[in-house]
Amino acid sequence: MDALIELTAEQEQFRAELCELLCQDAVRDEVARSRRLPYGQETGLLDVHRRLGERGLLAVNWPVEYGGRGGTIVEKAILTEELILHGVPDTVHTLGIDIVGLAVFLYGTPEQRARLLPGLARGDTTASVLFSEPGIGSDLASLTTRAEPDGDGWRLYGRKRYSMKTHQSDFALCAARTSAGPVAYHGITLFLVPLRSVGVHIDPLWNLSEERFDDVTLDGIRVTRADVLGEVDDGWQVVNRVLPLERTGIDSAAKADRLLDALLRQAAATGRLTEPAYAQRLLDLDARVRAARLLAWRCVLHLRDGRPDEVDSATAKWYASEVAKELAGLALEVTGLDGVLDARDAAAVADGVFDAALREAPGLTLAAGTSEIMLYFVGTSGLGLPS
């Protein structure tokens, strides 16, 4: 642990508890199998998620009544780091716990919390996000999915793209427009949409990463006031509150840390660690990975202290994801063509970690807000530059 990141003895013990569980042979074997699934298949909920859930660790910062341990954002950040450092696929956890679950915990009714959170915390159910649309990514003000009044509820019509894990999820947090007006962000409502329902059509969008995107058509699925998260027409406020909590950069920093460790081992084994073409670049990236982690933990500690800083969050998210992306590119230079063999190939270098990182890297700079949007936010809100 970096000396600049101070944890209590209890938090260090919590990290040790996690490491002990994640180092069990059964967990290691499951993670290895998940990396070797046939092409076109991908991981969903794993036994390791359920093992964590049984111990109140999967949603450690949630109250005990909802399946957590009543921990803080610090324990949650430790969990995210250790899952990634131990190679556990993290998308299901990020979507279900860190985004949708957090939104329900912060803005859900008592009934919604009691109905949805325990299953997520146990690792029995999961959730996805339906925000992006064709031609519309980070700019929710332009969304076209509409909620048409239908008696005491609404029917949803629209198309969502680039969502992940929707085909494996039980429900989704969906943004739709319930009214139109002069203020673009007003009139957006968030709905908790059951995905195994008439009116939801999910098709794959195949890509180079291990996890497919989904193309989701909402064709008149009916929702009621009980499915609304927060207030009608005020969904942007929920999004604006939850997304900065996701943008600590902890996940990208941990991925960069894991990748750098594997790359340094490989470079040392092949004699390239001291080659002039790579030595200085590896040294520079080592410093930048450490800086990314410190920026991320600064955000976590701000959240712990009840003083979130959206500019710091945007900075950390941008920096950590860009460092991870650059590191993935350098890994291919160091390892050569052998580095693009995936984990299914017996000759793969470092169990295919470099290939997986290279294919995932572009998505890190897009998910949860593109690098361009993060820089725009830092420039306008942080530096006071004109928009």
Mean pLDDT, to the nearest integer, of 115-121? 97
Mean pLDDT, to the nearest integer, of 371-383? 90
Domain annotation covers residue 3:
no
Whole-model pTM? 0.91
The amino acid that residue 284 corresponds to is D
User: Are both 217 and 316 inside the same structural domain?
Assistant: no
Mean pLDDT, to the nearest integer, of 225-253? 88
User: Are both 96 and 210 inside the same structural domain?
Assistant: no
What is the CATH number for 155? Answer: 2.40.110.10
Q: Are strands 127-130 and 200-205 parallel, antiparallel or unpaired?
A: unpaired
Mean pLDDT, to the nearest integer, of 308-331? 93
User: Are both 231 and 312 inside the same structural domain?
Assistant: no
Do the Cβ atoms of 133 and 143 come closer than 8 Å? yes
Domain annotation covers residue 242:
no
pLDDT of 325-363, one tens digit each?
999 999 999 998 888 888 898 888 888 899 999 999 988
- C-beta neighbour count of 11 within 10 angstroms: 17
Look at residue 137 and tell me whether its pLDDT is greater than 80. Answer: no
Q: 125, 144, 159: which is the final residue of a domain?
A: 125
Mean pLDDT, to the nearest integer, of 22-39? 93
pLDDT of 157-195, one tens digit each?
999 998 999 999 999 999 999 998 777 778 999 999 999
Look at residue 383 and tell me whether its pLDDT is greater than 80. Answer: yes
Domain annotation covers residue 262:
yes
* Count of structural domains within the chain: 3
User: Are both 165 and 118 inside the same structural domain?
Assistant: no
The mean predicted confidence, pLDDT, of the chain is 91
Look at residue 2 and tell me whether its pLDDT is greater than 60. Answer: no
- Return the sign of the alpha-carbon dihedral for residues 255, 261, 262, 263: positive
Look at residue 299 and tell me whether its pLDDT is greater than 70. Answer: yes
User: Are both 215 and 292 inside the same structural domain?
Assistant: no
Look at residue 370 and tell me whether its pLDDT is greater than 90. Answer: no
User: Are both 259 and 363 inside the same structural domain?
Assistant: yes
What is the CATH number for 39? Answer: 1.10.540.10
Domain annotation covers residue 100:
yes
**Per-residue pLDDT, 348:** 87
Q: What is the domain range of residue 89?
A: 9-125
User: Are both 376 and 258 inside the same structural domain?
Assistant: yes
Strand partners, 157: 146, 219
User: Are both 20 and 52 inside the same structural domain?
Assistant: yes
Contacts (Cβ under 8 Å, ≥6 apart) of 329: 358, 361
User: Are both 13 and 108 inside the same structural domain?
Assistant: yes
Do the Cβ atoms of 120 and 126 come closer than 8 Å? yes
Distance CA 315, CA 378 (A): 7
**Per-residue pLDDT, 206:** 87
User: Are both 121 and 142 inside the same structural domain?
Assistant: no
Distance CA 96, CA 126 (A): 5
**DSSP annotation of 55:** T
Distance CA 203, CA 159 (A): 11
318 burial type by CB count under 10 A (0-12 exposed, 13-18 middle, 19+ buried): buried
Q: Which of 129, 193, 138, 165 is nearest to 318 (CA)?
A: 138
Look at residue 211 and tell me whether its pLDDT is greater than 90. Answer: no
Look at residue 22 and tell me whether its pLDDT is greater than 80. Answer: yes
**Per-residue pLDDT, 239:** 86
Q: How confident is the model at residue 1 (pLDDT cuts 50, 70, 90)?
A: very low
Q: Which of 162, 150, 143 is nearest to 236 (CA)?
A: 143
Distance CA 55, CA 67 (A): 9
Distance CA 23, CA 17 (A): 10
Domain annotation covers residue 387:
no
User: Are both 285 and 367 inside the same structural domain?
Assistant: yes
Q: 237, 258, 283: which is the final residue of a domain?
A: 237
Domain annotation covers residue 353:
yes
Distance CA 298, CA 29 (A): 34
**DSSP annotation of 38:** P
Do the Cβ atoms of 193 and 160 come closer than 8 Å? no
Q: Determine the Cα angle at 364 with ends 363 and 370, to 5°.
A: 85
User: Are both 160 and 252 inside the same structural domain?
Assistant: no
Look at residue 267 and tell me whether its pLDDT is greater than 50. Answer: yes
Mean pLDDT, to the nearest integer, of 269-289? 92
Q: 125, 146, 168: which is the final residue of a domain?
A: 125
Three-state secondary-structure class, residue 283: helix
Look at residue 243 and tell me whether its pLDDT is greater than 80. Answer: no
Q: Which of 282, 314, 279 is nearest to 296 (CA)?
A: 314
